[in-house]
Amino acid sequence: MSPLAIAAGVATGLMLGLFGSGGSIITLPALIYLLKVETKPAIAMSLGIVGVTAAISAVTHWRRGNINVPVAAIFGLFGVAGTYGGARLGVVTPELVQLLMFAAIMYVASWRMFRPSTVAPKTDMLVRMDCSGAATMVCFDASRVGHIAIHGIVVGLITGMVGVGGGFLIVPALVLLSGLPMKQAVGTSLVIVSAKSFAGFAGYMGAIAIDYSLMAAFTGIAVAGSFLGSAVSTRMSAEGLKKGFAAFLVLVASYIVFRETMGG
């Protein structure tokens, strides 16, 4: 594995550990352009790599009390269904369409990351802080379940189609729709991303040839990066890292568009 591919693996875990998102946005281009994996196997492998890495990183957040189980269950359940369906659709979708969709999602993600983090939870959201003394992690307003379910299905379809975990969509949704604090949104997102990624990987299994040895090597490097991300998350400026990552996304998305439409 080349030094650039190793660096990409570390960056995958780093992004997941820091933000609960961004792993697949690095993994998929690395597999395709650095490791020369065909598009559809790369999408499947990206889902598997991100699924394992997010699951392991989520354990650290669980120990810190940063995972809200009811929200993860609701979003994850509908997200898994959407992701499996998206993966089955992705098997028959032209590769150019998948890559251009992926680049478009990268542009959206970079735009969201360039914006300042001014989102504040509302008071009537899914998770409340004052439910007759009940613990926060088991207390929620059932009237918000429909919104969470719909968002889970939509993000799941995108995940399965183009191989993104969707964390950059999930984290803001958890803050806006569920009223979670940012740290809990990141931890809960990792659980959801992991579940959806495994569902997407399952949707490609049997229909796509997968290099499991390469996938295992990349996953091991990404997991190491996730521990690094979790360790530095309390010591570095998340806002500065987000903006640097956003600029990186714009460059990679532009490269994909040029390579696939003009570069041959």
Using CA atoms, how far residue 249 sits from 51, 245, 253, in Å, is 21, 6, 6
One-letter amino acid for residue 39 of the chain = T
| Residue pLDDT tens, the chain, 264 long | 778 778 877 877 777 766 666 677 778 888 888 889 998 999 899 889 888 888 888 888 888 888 888 888 888 889 888 888 988 898 888 988 888 988 888 788 778 777 765 544 444 444 444 444 444 444 555 666 777 788 888 888 887 888 776 676 777 777 776 677 777 888 888 898 888 889 889 888 888 889 999 999 988 988 888 777 766 666 666 566 667 667 877 888 888 888 888 865
Specify the number of domains making up the chain: 1
Task: Return d(Cα 89, Cα 68) in angstroms, integer.
Answer: 31
Q: Which domain holds residue 208?
A: 3-261
Q: What is the 3-state secondary structure (H, E, C) of 174-232?
A: HHHHHCCCHHHHHHHHHHHHHHHHHHHHHHHECCECCCHHHHHHHHHHHHHHHHHHHHH
pLDDT of residue 129: 42
Count the helix, strand and coil residues of the chain and give each as a percent rounded to the nearest 5: 75, 0, 20
pLDDT of residue 134: 41
Task: Return d(Cα 158, Cα 79) in angstroms, integer.
Answer: 10
pLDDT of residue 125: 44
**Terminal CA-CA length for the chain:** 25
Q: 249: buried, middle or exposed (CB in 10 Å: 19+, 13-18, 0-12)?
A: buried
pLDDT of residue 58: 86
pLDDT of residue 259: 84
